[in-house]
Structure 1
């Protein structure tokens, strides 16, 4: 049976940020999606965003993109992997249901209760603990990134080369390399590749 990935994000202290819902909605429109998107990120409940993907998605890269675009806001993410009831033509994730949504909600509840993780993946499989351990380490690395490092990583990942990223930011391409190195980008990408392999394996046969 087809599996789905649901990402639910909780914006921390959104009311104190001074950023209006209108601004948030405009920022969400800047998100770039893979082809297997089912429902794009939408704002609901005032401080939550949610999207649904059919099949595999490299979700660590997606989370990083969102965190960059929504700066200076801080977010917690619950990711659910499971089934959904895809019977309606409605592409608003808040009107959908299924185990993938339940897992994403449970993940956010755990984050709130334990105040330890920033990102949790749940699928009711033996892979969950390994994935969440890697996500914890990635989040700890990213928590120390400077604004310059966030920019360098974002545009290098988006544009594909140090040169193009440097041209976008109007700095020397060597600076992009130094910032990515300081951000431990190579190590983070390796960790994300491991998560990707695990998720791909979970989708085999769907």
Structure 2
């Protein structure tokens, strides 16, 4: 069982400096391959056009990897299709040429996001997780996961540039409220209020719940 990730840059043809964005993306994927090497079995690499893919042997770092790409490539937007399933081809160092049911459902996830964008004229989600496992009961962990990720996408879409910058520094640069208050020339409670107003804590809790459900689902199907 593997976790396949396909990423696709949104409206890449409208980007003025596509070569520079691709150069940035190559650097980000290189960083990910080092940072999360314990979970990656096929390194992330650009495949066709402005798509990239990678393969994990367990999902605990899945959402961290996605967030790392989104934060570091912003303002360029990326959609992600995640597939949980088996592989048909040999597992190689890089994901180019890899194929199997895990990638098939990841591709379906990407296509469903694109259809959703057309239907609602704006993205209501940027990440979907599908599985190849057919279950016979009504309760589906991944339905909950996808609802949580959709809510996170909505919250994130409302962030101002300043809110986004503060959240990036809190989450990825590990800056304290005190350090941020000194940086922006405000009080610590002011930083807390800005984070509250952005919906960051709701976003954070939803992401944490989403990965718990994914890991729980993964462990259950491996029993």
Name the CA distance, whole Å, in 2 between partners of 1:171 and 1:35.
37
Q: Does 1:134 align with 2:137?
A: no
Distance apart, 1:161 and its partner CA: 4.4
Q: 1:98 to 1:154 in 2, by over 3 A?
A: same
Name the residue aligned to 2:202. 187
Name the residue aligned to 1:158. 172
Superposed CA deviations along residues 46-88 of structure 1, whole A, max 9, x for unmatched, are 1112121111224333322211111111111111111224734
- The number of equivalent residue pairs is 202
Contact 1:80 1:101 in 2 (8 A): yes
Name the residue aligned to 1:100. 102
Q: Which has the larger radius of gyration?
A: 2
Q: 1:164 to 1:7 in 2, by over 3 A?
A: farther
Higher alpha-carbon deviation: 98-107 or 78-87:
78-87
Superposed CA deviations along residues 143-173 of structure 1, whole A, max 9, x for unmatched, are 1112222222222222434158639x94457
Q: 1:103 to 1:165 in 2, by over 3 A?
A: farther
Contact 2:113 2:125 in 1 (8 A): yes
Structure 1: which 5+ runs fail to align?
none
Contact 1:152 1:165 in 2 (8 A): no
Name the CA distance, whole Å, in 1 between partners of 2:66 and 2:166.
16
Q: 1:19 to 1:185 in 2, by over 3 A?
A: same
RMSD: 2.6
Distance apart, 1:30 and its partner CA: 4.0
Q: Does 1:77 align with 2:80?
A: yes
Name the residue aligned to 1:110. 112
Name the CA distance, whole Å, in 1 between partners of 2:83 and 2:10.
20
Contact 1:38 1:52 in 2 (8 A): yes
Q: Does 1:6 align with 2:4?
A: yes
Structure 2: which 5+ runs fail to align?
118-123
Name the CA distance, whole Å, in 2 between partners of 1:157 and 1:108.
26
TM-score (norm 2): 0.78
